[in-house]
Chains A and B, each alone.
Chain A
Amino acid sequence: MITFFLFVGLFLCFLMCFSLYRAVVGPTVLDRLVGTNAIGSKTVVLLLLIGCIYQRVEMFVDIALAYALLNFIAVLAASRYFHKRRGLYEESPFE
């Protein structure tokens, strides 16, 4: 079962690459925000999975819970920025 969790975790990590792709490539800040949000949600699950792999999930659940509670604050703050500051210039990464 542990091995299974390990592979599930690896797969999640693999999926995280896609979200990270979006976060890195953009093109707008909001896209990055979406990507980051997706990474955050996967992180919650991964944390629990790691707990299961360590077989100490009771120690990890608090972290995951904290994550679930706090994850959206940054997103709210960033979107709040757009509420108050107009303009959204597009830019391509790595120049």
Chain B
Amino acid sequence: MIILNALVILFLGTGLVFFLGGAVGIIRMPDFYSRLHPVGKLDTLGIMAMVTGLALYNLGHFSWETLLVSLKMMLIVFFVFLSSPTATHSIVDAGIRAGLNPWSKSRKD
């Protein structure tokens, strides 16, 4: 049980770190394209880690029902893995179509 809890805490911690990175990135990055990096990648990863952690925690009182719930959680991860990059892709596409130029060091905003 303790091991499981420790694992859960580890996962959640990892997820939080990812999210923190994402949050910092979204604040600090200079332009929209670069901000998409933390959102697109780190948040997805964060979701994966945290949901996995919670799924593990849920398995603590093992039964078919909890297993089902944990499976659903993993399904969430799966869908987020599908949808989040798509969303990111479409935003980037939109940025390009809209005529937003990427940031470069030479040009100061």
A residues whose Cβ falls under 8 Å from a Cβ of B: 1, 4, 8, 11-12, 15, 18-19, 21-22, 28, 30-31, 33-35, 37-38, 41-42, 44-45, 48-49, 52, 57-58, 61-62, 64-65, 68-69, 71-72, 75-76, 78-83, 86-88
Contacts and interface: CB of A to CB of B under 8 A. Distances in A.
Interface residues of B, number: 49
A45 B15 contact: yes
B7 to A, nearest CB: 12
A60 to B, nearest CB: 9
Interface of B: 5, 8-9, 12, 15-16, 19-20, 22-24, 26-27, 32, 35-36, 39, 43-44, 46-47, 50-51, 54, 57-58, 65-66, 69, 72-73, 75-76, 79-80, 83-84, 86-88, 90-91, 93-95, 97-100
B98 A22 contact: no
Contacts of B26: 18-19, 22, 34-35, 38
Contacts of A49: 50, 54
Contacts of A61: 69, 72-73, 76
Nearest to A42: B19
A22 to B, nearest CB: 5
